[in-house]
Structure 1
């Protein structure tokens, strides 16, 4: 029997983490470089790291000296994405992104994971499914668990279902032991400091980092009923970055991506400008959109950026 105590609703040791989390991300989109917010966020990050590194010391130690597996030539190049209810019930912006992904898959096999087919590809521990049913595991956390389980078993590229793909996905993205959109280090509230972006995660089959992340999630949820942080995915990857020299080298050696990954979503309701749009799409192969927002097809009788990408379908 595991000796670690399960932590159910609102354990005391999570109270401080919750407070720091609420403060540090209160105005994240507008003030993520504010010195005071940065200071609070950094304090919160240290607390989360301290907790996870203590609770999951065995998993970290297991992978410390494990070498990256030697990988054979890539067979099937998989692109994984997920919309739990299925494509027919997806919002229009998600359908648009899925169409763009299929159009630009460049010969890779696009697999849309849903509640009806995920068991065809992976098997999750019963306690994961039980805690999802009880509401301990949020849908976002389940999505993170599924992505790393798929990548560990099959390899490939995971893209969130709200990623707009502007041009064919380079085949070399599948050649890295670990891949993500990698932008220059930035002192922001985000614990990953732009070293990777969770909406785009790639790996070889059985890759060390995705295997570690999968095991960290499994181990965590076997022993806890409360999530330590909404963005636990980034804390897990940063633990690997900080503890495993080979993983740090893999991430640091990734080619730089455009820093305009989140720009398209901010202008979709603006009047369309062809030169600006073409420049952005040439620079950004992936743009993160948001299905929660409402998008307009016109503004003052003029075409919007959203209308333009809809008409491209």
Structure 2
């Protein structure tokens, strides 16, 4: 289930974003196996981040000088999105959504679709035009959607591929002024600190407002992705702009919520499962895997699909 590295796509992107030279030097010294390519990607992303800092400095200054004062409020809304409607979603996505509904009964869970998202948010004209033309992909439109929903309404964004296994959820995950899962250690050499699949926020949170502002500026200027994780890179700029506010965010590792994904097609073991449930109530999964893997009986995947395990 690991995402395959597309060498041609990496090469073309590096030519566009000005990181071709470090890419070639990295390839020369580190080789082209998976580990080598992962290290090269870190190097390229580090170089790109330096460029983004310089390029976005005027925009950040502009944002800070023009920032308005808003009354901030929290919300019990939980935002989940499947644009085609839940009835058309993969079965795993449907199971994930049911698990959230069952374990968060006191939250106002809103399913966002293509039919209703305009009831909650509006986007700049250039964003809608580029989305309609396919320049902004559905994935990156989703990045903008979660930012608009949270800055306007507050609450918690949960990706539709997140499986919930307990109603006992730490308050910092759902009730903080801002919460995201983070890459905690080691962070040296990594320019991205956060995961974007689970975000809790008050309305008009400064870090999210700045991230949104920078992404809108980006899509005004560019018709291509400098990096697939452009959301995370812009969020990193927001972290660097508001270091004191970032210190207030409780540090929760983004590693534990991926343990189930890494073992999804292993043989089910009750003791192992019980221990997993003690680590986190949320588990980031994917519906993109080889269908042949789903045939095997007695796996964690089969257990999830057949019954909601408490």
Same fold (TM over 0.5): yes
CA distance, structure 2, for counterparts of residue 209 and residue 71 of structure 1: 13
1:270 to 266, 280, 285: 266
CA distance, structure 2, for counterparts of residue 128 and residue 52 of structure 1: 20
The alignment status of 1:121 with 2:120, answered yes or no, reads yes
Q: CA deviation at 1:288?
A: 1.1
Aligned to 1:6: none
Scaled by the length of structure 2, what TM-score is found? 0.82
Alignment root-mean-square deviation, CA: 3.1
Deviation track 1:265-299 (CA, whole Å, cap 9, x = no partner) reads 22222211111011112212111111111375663
1:112-151 matches, within 5 Å, as 112-151=111-150
Scaled by the length of structure 1, what TM-score is found? 0.81
CA contact (8 A) 1:164 1:288 kept: yes
CA distance, structure 1, for counterparts of residue 58 and residue 283 of structure 2: 37
Aligned to 2:231: 233
Aligned to 2:208: 210
The change in CA–CA distance for 1:70 and 1:125 in structure 2 (over 3 A counts) is closer
Which stretches of structure 1, 4 residues or more, deviate above 4 A after TM superposition?
Answer: 9-13, 21-24, 63-70, 187-190, 295-298
SS at match of 2:232: helix
Aligned to 2:255: 259
Deviation track 1:191-225 (CA, whole Å, cap 9, x = no partner) reads 32xx4211111110111111111111111111221
Q: Which structure has the highest helix share of the two?
A: 2
Deviation track 1:20-72 (CA, whole Å, cap 9, x = no partner) reads 49979x77xx63xx6x843x344323332233233322331145576996645
2:277 to 255, 275, 281: 281
Aligned to 1:220: 218
SS at match of 1:53: helix
Moved more, 133-142 or 180-189: 180-189
CA distance, structure 1, for counterparts of residue 142 and residue 126 of structure 2: 15
1:27-176 matches, within 5 Å, as 31=35, 37-38=38-39, 40-64=40-64, 71-72=72-73, 74=74, 76-168=75-167, 169-176=169-176
The change in CA–CA distance for 1:13 and 1:295 in structure 2 (over 3 A counts) is closer
* Residue correspondences, number: 290
The change in CA–CA distance for 1:18 and 1:103 in structure 2 (over 3 A counts) is farther
Q: CA deviation at 1:259?
A: 2.8
CA contact (8 A) 2:93 2:287 kept: yes
CA contact (8 A) 1:271 1:298 kept: no
Q: CA deviation at 1:78?
A: 1.1
CA contact (8 A) 2:79 2:111 kept: yes
Structure 2 residue runs without a partner (length 5+): 1-11
1:16 to 14, 19, 24: 19
SS at match of 2:267: coil
The alignment status of 1:311 with 2:306, answered yes or no, reads yes
Q: CA deviation at 1:111?
A: 1.1
Aligned to 2:4: none
